Chains A and B, each alone.
Chain A
């Protein structure tokens, strides 16, 4: 799940982890009541500072995605269907923004992008 965590990115690591978990919740990959790995386990697995993991979990808690229960761990909350849908559309906007920024750097025009988009989407469907 955390294959795309990039320590060299300017996006802070805790934000990358929180983001990834939100996507998993939005996509239904993580179900309500499921528990997240402990801070210690995840820090060891990703070889990251435990403080970074703890910060990511705190952020998710303050946004209502998880619940931290003293002594027993961190659990996915039952996030409303509308909330999951709105998180998905936020993610879509982020993806498009990143793509547009990259395209601008390479001087790719709108028409080229739209054509490529149609082609790729078509290929996925068929």
Chain B
């Protein structure tokens, strides 16, 4: 399978406080890739590097088969981008902003732009600077989608928007993906939203990619176990124990990675009893992963 975005051995340093080190990342073509991470983990910086808006000190970035920064103009012509904070001219009207944007993209689809404008309820003559936050979010998404991009890069596209607007944006996005097989790279901390639509997950923390895997592996591999009469020392476990905490009575709660049902035999083998296997959803899995990656310091 080819990758729409491929990053190898990337180093980027801004000042003393923040750096991205040895970043390797793959976004498979046609996937919807959820890019997770706490605030300040380097998500936006990574996105800006991918789009050639920042220069890395070392490493390679390939987007839609072209190298960044050498081929950035060709890449950007085929990429839709919704930035974290709007970058539109406030003195333009909605119609002018659309015409202005269309001029840069030969693949601009005027009919769909008009459809979206109607669906989103954006008045042609409204000034961009006077739009509400939700309307601005819709206009940004309209501009990115109507250029019919092969790759969509969305940086917190629904952050701070109400559920109705979020739903409209998501529906329009899914419509584009089903018609054009586009690749979507979406960063968000609205984890539940990503859980519905994404088939790949990448997790950033402190400038490093701490996990990258298909959504179903991410969700199925991490479990919470309720174990009674467990020995203090476990020795070699067939799964990775991320944490152990006392529970009620003789029971303990373990958070484990790489769990498979036959491994319950190992637990009885050390004289303990497996009382329960609890599934974690994406959000809980994400929190556990960060907690253990950060170790006792956090």
> A residues bordering B, Cβ < 8 Å?
7-10, 12-13, 39-40, 43-44, 47-52, 105
**A7 contacts B279, CB within 8 Å?**
no
Chain B residues, Cβ within 8 Å of A105: 276
Residues of chain B from 145 to 193 with CB closer than 8 A to chain A in the complex = 167, 170-171, 174-175, 177-179, 192
**Contact flag A12-B279 (CB < 8 Å), given A43-B178, A48-B197, A49-B174:** no
Assign chain B's interface to a size class: 20 to 34
Q: Which 8 A-B pairs have the closest CB atoms?
A: A50-B178, A8-B281, A40-B178, A10-B279, A7-B196, A7-B195, A49-B197, A43-B174
Which residues of B have CB within 8 Å of A52?
A: 199
Q: Measured between C-beta atoms, what is the minimum distance from B168 to chain A in Å?
A: 11
Q: Give CA–CA (A10, B198) in the complex, Å.
A: 14
On whether the beta carbons of B220 and A10 are closer than 8 Å, the reply is yes
Residue of A7, A13, A50 near B177 (CB, 8 A) is A50
Task: Answer whether residue B244 sits at the interface, using C-beta atoms and an 8 A cutoff.
Answer: no
Q: Are A47 and B197 in contact (CB under 8 A)?
A: yes
B282 is an interface residue with CB less than 8 A from chain A = yes
Which chain A residues lie closer than 8 Å to B170 at the CB level?
47
Q: List 28 A-B contacts (CB under 8 A).
A: A7-B196, A8-B281, A8-B282, A9-B279, A10-B279, A12-B216, A13-B196, A39-B178, A40-B175, A40-B178, A43-B174, A43-B175, A44-B171, A44-B175, A44-B178, A47-B167, A47-B171, A47-B196, A47-B197, A48-B197, A49-B32, A49-B174, A49-B177, A49-B196, A49-B198, A50-B174, A50-B178, A51-B32
Is B30 in the interface zone, CB < 8 Å from A?
yes
Known: A12-B216, A47-B174, A49-B199. 5 other contacts (CB 8 A): A10-B279, A40-B178, A40-B179, A49-B198, A51-B30
Q: Considering only CB atoms, which chain B residue lies closest to A46 in the complex? A: B196
Closest A residue by C-beta to B172 = A44
Contact status of A7 and B192, CB under 8 A, knowing A40-B179, A47-B167, A49-B32? yes
**B171 contact set on A, CB distance < 8 A:** 44, 47
With A and B bound together, what is the CA distance between A59 and B148 in angstroms? 30
Kindly state whether residue B219 has any CB partner on chain A within 8 Å. Answer: yes
In angstroms, Cα B198 to Cα A93, docked, is 31
A35 CB to nearest B CB, Å: 17
List the B side residues contacting A7 at CB < 8 Å. 192, 195-196
Q: Give bound CA distance, A51 to B28, whole Å.
A: 13
Q: Which of A8, A10, A47, A51 contacts B199 (CB under 8 A)?
A: A51
CA distance A47 to B31 in the complex (A): 15
How far, in angstroms, from A32 to B258 measured CA to CA in the complex?
42
A44 to B171, CA, bound (A): 5
B220's nearest neighbour on chain A, judged by CB, is A10
For B175, list chain A residues within 8 Å (CB): 40, 43-44
Instruction: Compute how far the CA of A120 lies from the CA of B271 in the bound complex, rounded to whole angstroms.
Output: 40
For A54, give the chain B residue with the smallest CB separation: B178
* Most B-side CB within 10 Å, residue of A13, A40, A50, A105: A50
A50 CB to nearest B CB, Å = 4
Asked whether A48 lies within 8 Å of B177 as measured between CB atoms, the reply is no
Q: With a CB–CB cut-off of 8 A, which chain A residues contact B216?
A: 12
User: B219 near A10 (CB under 8 angstroms)?
Assistant: yes
* Residues in B neighbouring A47, C-beta threshold 8 A: 167, 170-171, 174, 196-197
